[in-house]
Amino acid sequence: MTGQTISEGLPFAGGVAIVPIPVIAVVLVLFSRRARVNGPLFLLGWVAGLAVAFALVLALAGAANPSSDTTASDGVSWLRIGLGILLLLAAGRSWRKRPAAGTSQELPRWMTGMDDLPPAKAVGLAVLLAAANPKNLVLVIAPLQASRSSARRPATRSRRSSSSSPSAARP
């Protein structure tokens, strides 16, 4: 990977890091009775879940061969469109299920059970929150497209002429 590709992907990595639901889950895990065990396991599950999401995106987009023509790029574009539609549907569902004005919303079951969460379920929850989150999938696709577009750009050469180099001036 070139430095430019990495710098193009860093904002998306930041977006993945600050998705609200996993941040809430981390806080709940770290304040639970089993924080010393579940905290590091949650982190490992989160990283594994992101790896699964990235592998899934690579497989679905057909991006395994970076030297291919625009077919893989078209696959990534269609995958982004599909995930965008999925995000719109999820937003509509969330809007319809919102509590009425003046009523309080009940906490989800997974949040209320975090204090007694066994280690295996902490890993599973982290994998689920990382790999099954449509926002993460969209944020994982974007650097893939950025790296594909930078791979297609022609390499630029240095514009220094040989006469301006110190070795060329010597007899």
Residues 6+ apart with CB under 8 A from 42: 25, 26, 29, 122, 123, 125, 126
* CA–CA dist 98, 95 (Å, integer): 5
pTM: 0.63
Q: Is 56 in contact with 157 (CB distance < 8 Å)?
A: no
Alpha-carbon gap, residue 91 to 128, rounded angstroms: 19
Query: What digits encode the pLDDT tens for the residues 24-73?
Result: 888 999 999 999 999 999 999 999 998 888 887 777 666 445 445 566 56
Q: Quick one: DSSP state of residue 155?
A: P
Q: What is the pLDDT of residue 7?
A: 72
